[in-house]
Amino acid sequence: MKAAEILITTTEKIPGKEYEIIGEVFGLSTQSKNMISDMGAGLKSIVGGEIRAYTRMSHTARDKALERLRQEASDLNADAVVMMRFDSGSMANDMQSVVAYGTAVRFI
């Protein structure tokens, strides 16, 4: 199955589907801001409000982690990933790491 076709769900069961468990799959992405965005974020922290550079960085990391999760599931010939979760953390002051993980399954 193509990676883009892999069903990803946060639930344990997929209604109307029976499946066998293949194993755990992960997708990881670490993103960093550029120096100009970092300076803008520093200025924004003085007045408060959303720091859009960080928001965009987090969205990019999440999307890339999902893409990699789908690819790993596809490499295992999975049809879906159940119980998908995200975890994230910061490294240094300017990097965001996001991991998407779940259980790869094959429909029977």
Region 66-82: what's the mean pLDDT? 97
For residue 96, what are the CA distances in angstroms to 53, 61, 88, 99?
A: 12, 7, 7, 10
Q: What is the CATH number of domain 3-107?
A: 3.30.110.70
Instruction: Give 30's strand partners.
Output: 97
Q: Provide the pLDDT confidence category of residue 78 given band limits of 50, 70 and 90.
A: very high
How far is Cα 72 from Cα 16, in angstroms, rounded to an integer? 24
Residues 31-41: tens digit of each pLDDT: 876 655 555 55
How far is Cα 12 from Cα 31, in angstroms, rounded to an integer? 30
User: What's the token pair of residue 70?
Assistant: 């789908």
Instruction: Give 87's strand partners.
Output: 99
Residues 16-33: tens digit of each pLDDT: 999 999 999 999 998 876
Q: Residue 44: pLDDT above 80?
A: no
86 residue type, one letter: F
Torsion sign (Cα): 77, 88, 67, 6:
positive
- Calculate what percentage of the chain has a pLDDT beyond 70: 84
104 residue type, one letter: A
Q: Residue 92: pLDDT above 80?
A: no
Greater model confidence, 53 or 2: 2
Q: Can you give the pTM of this predicted structure?
A: 0.79
* E strand segments, 41-94: 80-91
